[in-house]
Structure 1
Amino acid sequence: MSTSNSTPLPKALGHIRVLDLSRVLAGPWCSQNLADLGADVIKIERPGSGDDTRAWGPPYAKDAVGRDTSEAAYYLSANRGKRSVTVDIASPEGQALVRELARHADVVLENFKVGQLKRYGLDYESLKAVKPDIVYCSITGFGQDGPYAHRAGYDFLIQGMGGLMSVTGERDELPGGGPQKVGVALTDLMTGMYATVAVLAALTHRDRTGEGQYIDMALLDTQVAMLANVGSNYLNSGKPPKRWGNAHPNIVPYQTFACADGHIIVAAGNDGQYQKFVEAGGRRELALDPRFATNPMRVKNRDTLVPLLAEMVRERRRDEWIAMLEAVGVPCGPINDVGEVFDNPQVRSRGIEIEVPHAAAGTVKLVRSPMKMSATPATSDKAPPMLGEHTDEVLSEMLGKDEAEIAALRGKGVV
């Protein structure tokens, strides 16, 4: 996106440099957001192997003749817009390089185990000594203190420990009932999102006061925080919420229904929408019945009402229901598979799927940032980097290393 005279629009974070020591998902999701907003994100990776997710395939990106490249689709999902530099941070020379790079950075992001980077002289206090106003964000499973601080934390475990799986899945008394994890690593992703917000807030504080700070992000903290109304329901009732499958604990009908040829979601958020729903299905008596006239009554009598609604919905095809309900303003929609998602006319119109140049694959398909901003648009036009693709460039540009110095570092396995 550019102005009418073809001058590129400014980048919101074009003045920010991020030294990203994180890998896998939560940290890279944060740094990808910052890169989309224009920050220069330098991804520090282990020589020879790099981010673990580079090998988390298949599927892999394919080259022009259909052969797999070394770039796993998982890795591609969280690393666009960055520059990759390989450094062995277990070596003293590698640690010195990272400290030099930190001197030129605004933000350091890491997700190592508690205390590990202190042994390398790459913890907050060590880097604050070389860059006093640094914003340093650590992401761990359980945070920097508490009895679980030194445990390894993984999204799946945290979904279970943090209560999400207790409210996800079909009701215990129904077929298929039991705890279920969410189909994407939601806790990792939300931790990355909260970390993004925290980093931006810390940068704003730094710009106002000159003071950097330390950010302690934990997957478990995030998971508990994002329980939202479910957590609030417990705190205000003392009763642990249960699983409701595709239904809603506080709204009826707000769930999936089987049609004659598939499934739909009906989200009747008020009494008027409920009335229009049953009238469209030819069951006006269900709107007049005092047991179902208001949402509190429908919640109370859900076990009586829902089978009647299910019988009604099963009489028509999915597309017929969607057309009828959209015509009368009842929120509804299909349950798409991912292929149908990317083929959806609204998704296509919004340009969410993009194709960008890639060193090994020629081009790769990515999902653009969902942040649409008029004055400082997010950009997603740089493919995730190949391992070490920018090592020479960054060491020369930022640290003034010449070819001979870089070659010597490479010969010793430091980069």
Structure 2
Amino acid sequence: MGALSNLRVLDLTQVLAGPYCTMLLADLGADVVKIERPGGDLIRSNPPFVDDPEAEAYGGYFQSVNRGKKSIELDFGDEDDRADFLSLVEEADVVVENYRAGTMEKYDLGYETLRERNPQLIYSSIRGFGDPRTGETDRQGQPSFDLIAQALGGVMEITGQADGPPTKVGPGIGDLFTATLNCIGILAAVNHRAQTGEGQYVDTGMYDSMLSFTERAVYQQSYTDEPPTRQGNSHPTLFPYNAFETADGYAVVAAFNDNHWAALCEAMDRPDLAEAYPTAADRLANREALREELAAWAADRTNEELVGTLEGRVPAAPVQNTEEIFDDPHVHARDMLVPVEQPGADADVEIAGTPIKMTETPPRPRGRAPLLDEHREEILDEAAVETKSDAEDADVDPDSETTADD
């Protein structure tokens, strides 16, 4: 039983941001029903595949962020399918969608309509530019993707080498960070409902989320009246805090406080640097000359030698690729790689585990991603039973009921 095993979530999302949000809820134990449009989520067919794309039900993209969910295929343009959806809404706790603003309203399935069916419903949307209900702007209705959000939100301007172009962060943080914030909003709304009985609308925009993500750039602009820009792997106010090329790769060193700096200078056998640059301000003012000293020292050592020399005294680590991550004992001890079935392939695949650890209700990926429409019968039969039960309860003569006072 997970911490959220009392919640049913109707997941109308697709691609990355929405599915990642509901994946977090599923890992925490929520019963997540993925309601897919005809043909299914757009990313079901995205690679990679283990072997044969024709035989396998979906690729790694879909598997990773839809694990542990149920699937039902519904066409909101069909009257019967809309009715089935509304029957599910009546018993749901949360609805999550990531359509453009106004899409659900086209089918008369917007928040106001669903709230009439279920006043305690928490309705959550993830959009590129938020929803008019929480702040109307002229950008709403425009399509958005991770690249758009990173560009507008300032992430790309401060990412990359100083003499290079603006660069997007590798993972889709415009999607993933927005999804995580949306999940937090949903859980806050669940807590509010537990106290008041009130449902509400939760709205998280990708542009807004990226602006929050670049909080350092925001305060730098406000304090200095100058727009910060790219500095490679260095930090604008701390040194050393950087990546250095070694004999066989790259390693990072974060020795910006006085104790770590002294330990780094000792490991380098350079007491003169410790004496000449004793304060953080000294080191920051002379960062270019010091960077050359550190770069020369790192270049003569392998990653293993550099990290082995500093480990335990100075924060340092190799820059790892995924092959190295898969070999890291820490990763396995923390259950951060999880095997799941790949339908259509005679093999399991591994996906990223959950970093949220809890002692009493540990989150975990709860099985593979669903086949399209795999759970239709189970879900609709449940809805029919619940509707019948509700109707029977409504027909009971209140004068015949036994009360606590009796």
TM-score (norm 2): 0.90
Higher alpha-carbon deviation: 67-76 or 301-310: 67-76
Name the residue aligned to 1:100: 87
Aligned counterpart for 2:331 among listed residues 347, 360, 368: 347
Could you say which residue in structure 1 is the equivalent of 2:307? 322
> Quick check: 1:69–1:360 contact (8 Å CA) kept in 2?
yes
Distance, in Å, in 1 between the alignment partners of 2:116 and 2:198 is 13
Find the counterpart in structure 2 of residue 230 from structure 1. 217
- The CA distance in 1 between the partners of 2:7 and 2:278, in whole Å, is 56
2:390 alignment counterpart: none
Deviation (angstroms), 1:364: 3.3
Percent identity over paired residues: 39
SS in 2 for 1:214: strand
Is the 2:241–2:252 contact (alpha carbons within 8 Å) kept by the matching residues of 1? yes
Letter in 2 for 1:111: N
1:16-415 alignment, distance < 5 Å: 16-47=7-38, 49-57=39-47, 59-62=48-51, 69-144=56-131, 145-172=136-163, 177-289=164-276, 292-327=277-312, 329-361=313-345, 363-400=348-385
Decide which moves more: 390-399 or 329-338: 390-399
User: Is the 2:258–2:280 Cα contact (8 Å) retained in structure 1?
Assistant: yes
Q: Deviations over 1:175-207 (max 9, x none)?
A: xx1211011101100011001000000011111
- How far did residue 121 of structure 1 move? 1.3
Unaligned runs of 5+ in 1: 1-9, 402-415
CA shift for structure 1 position 359: 4.4
Deviations 1:259-318 (A, max 9, x none): 2222110011301211211221122211111xx221112112112221122112222222
The verdict on how the C-alpha distance between 1:332 and 1:13 changes in structure 2, with shifts beyond 3 A counting, is same
C-alpha separation between the residues in 1 aligned to 2:281 and 2:83? 64
Q: Aligned Cα RMSD in Å? A: 1.7
Give the match's secondary structure for 1:77.
helix
- The alpha-carbon deviation at position 62 of structure 1 amounts to 4.7
Check conservation: 1:278, 1:287, Cα contact below 8 A: yes
Q: Is the contact between residue 265 and residue 271 of structure 2 (CA under 8 Å) also seen in structure 1?
A: yes
Equivalent pairs, count: 381
State the distance in 1 between where 2:162 and 2:119 align: 53
* Offset, 1:72: 1.0
Q: CA deviation at 1:68?
A: 5.2
Contact 1:170–1:178, Cα closer than 8 Å, also in 2 = yes
* Cα separation, 2, equivalents of 1:344 and 1:374: 23
Q: Which runs of 4+ in 1 moved over 4 A?
A: none
Contact 1:61 1:70 (C-alpha < 8 Å) held by counterparts: no
Query: Match of 2:58, SS?
Result: strand
SS in structure 1 opposite 2:371?
Answer: coil
In 1, are the aligned partners of 2:120 and 2:197 still within 8 Å (CA)?
A: yes
Q: Given the two structures, how large is their TM-score scaled by the length of structure 1?
A: 0.88
Taking the aligned partners of 2:183 and 2:193, their CA distance within structure 1 comes to 15
